[in-house]
Structure 1
Amino acid sequence: MENCMIKKVAKISKDIDATDEVELSWFDMQKPNLTGVSKNGINFVVKAKFTHLHENDILVCEDDYAIKVKRSADEVFVLEFSDALVFAKTAYEIGNRHQPVMIEDYKITLLDDISLGDIIKDCYTNENINVEKTKGYFKPNGKAHHSH
């Protein structure tokens, strides 16, 4: 019944061997406090000592059990714009929600987040915006998801 015990992560290492791994979303990798379950069914907890996790970090537990962090695909919306003003207004509205975004030429990719539901709904009704819900690897511009 070792799997019922929760292992506490003592440190994060790089380039060491790991006996297990866990897939985490971009959002989960940003959390200072995280609980998870590895592929081998091991429950673990990471506390706020660490800023955030990166792909290929090795979570080393107090008993030296090592879990490699892998990146999972995120549920994202890809918004493609045919009009510069609509693009600017939509980017402004999303920015006011303090949500992380990936901005490219006439294209915004954002995480599927309940706080953006009304904006996404409006995008679907705008003929100048093509909306696609998909899975992808989210990598926001700048220092996204900061605290004030």
Structure 2
Amino acid sequence: MIKKAIEIKKDIQADDSVLLDWFDMQKPNLSAITQEGKEFIVKAKYTHLHEDDILVCEDGYKIKVSKSEDNIYTLTFNDHITFARIAYEIGNRHQPICIEDYKITILEDISTTDIINSCKENSSVTVKKGKVLFKPNGNAHHTH
């Protein structure tokens, strides 16, 4: 039986947990499976989920939200022009981004595959693939 989460709370005891990646935590209509194998959907009003949110289901079952590591690409640049151009291209795809000094971290996503491939061919860019807890700058991936 599919559980329906109807409310989101904080700081209460949970019966179960679910591990979600960054994209899943942004979904307005989420369905997932908990660590205990319970299938659920979220039918509560929210903009996105946060680490340690507790999803309270109709039957009182409580599911703690935990953040999983995400597949990411880290792009490190040797020059400011290439850095700015790539940041601009990623921004035009409306993708979440973490910008640091001459370094950009983005989530692995089909919409940026061409950008990653062009960076791999560019000698002024170092591309590394990894798995980390992704934390974008600002209000990334907002709605209009």
TM over 0.5: yes
Residue equivalent to 2:113: 117
Moved over 3 A (4+): none
1:125, 1:10 → 2: CA distance?
Answer: 48
1:82 matched to 2:49? The reply is: no
SS of the residue corresponding to residue 85 of structure 1 reads helix
- Is the 2:4–2:40 contact (alpha carbons within 8 Å) kept by the matching residues of 1? yes
Give the CA deviation at 1:47.
2.6
2:139 alignment partner AA: K
- Is the 2:50–2:65 contact (alpha carbons within 8 Å) kept by the matching residues of 1? yes
- Is the 1:33–1:48 contact (alpha carbons within 8 Å) kept by the matching residues of 2? no
* TM score, norm. by length of structure 1: 0.95
Gapped regions of structure 1 (runs ≥ 5): none
2:11, 2:114 → 1: CA distance?
Answer: 43
Matched pairs, number: 144
* 1:13-47 Cα deviation digits (max 9, x unpaired): 11100010000001100111100000000000013
1:37, 1:92 → 2: CA distance?
Answer: 36
* TM score, norm. by length of structure 2: 0.97
% of aligned pairs identical?
61
Gapped regions of structure 2 (runs ≥ 5): none
1:141 matched to 2:119? The reply is: no
- Is the 1:82–1:129 contact (alpha carbons within 8 Å) kept by the matching residues of 2? yes
1:72 alignment partner AA: S
1:21, 1:13 → 2: CA distance?
Answer: 14
2:46, 2:89 → 1: CA distance?
Answer: 31
